[in-house]
Amino acid sequence: MTPSISTRHRIRDLNDQFRSSFSSARGQWLLTCGVQSMGSDFIALAVREVRNFDDFSSANDPHGEHDFGVISVIGERLFWKIDYYDPSLTRASPDPADPARTKRVLTLMLAAEY
């Protein structure tokens, strides 16, 4: 079942709040080995780019949830993706629009790792 527009907007707003706040109360960020190997300065730049990302369009955000993006940091192309889990992080969230039933996990990876 496709979520309603209001549900997608709620998910989008929650994703934007989580991504831009870097708040562990809303979820967690995972950095792949490739990103970690680039060093702390690179990571700081990449996190800043993800937090500030606003280049959403129908081409890269077809469902309007702001759950994926592509960035470039010091010539490296990276992908970030938000997935929705239940609070125990053991299965998919039953309702990504409900923050009480959802932990967001943002994965940041080098494009070459995909």
For 64, which DSSP code?
Answer: S
- pTM of the predicted structure, to 2 decimals: 0.93
* Residue 79: φ, ψ to 5°: -115, 145
Cα distance between residue 104 and residue 111, in whole Å = 21
Domain that holds residue 76: 5-113
pLDDT tens digit string along 69-110?
Answer: 999 999 999 999 999 999 999 999 999 999 999 999 999 999
Residue 1's pLDDT is: 60
Cα distance between residue 32 and residue 38, in whole Å = 10
pLDDT tens digit string along 11-65?
Answer: 999 999 999 987 777 899 999 999 999 999 999 999 999 999 999 999 999 999 9
The number of domains in the chain is 1
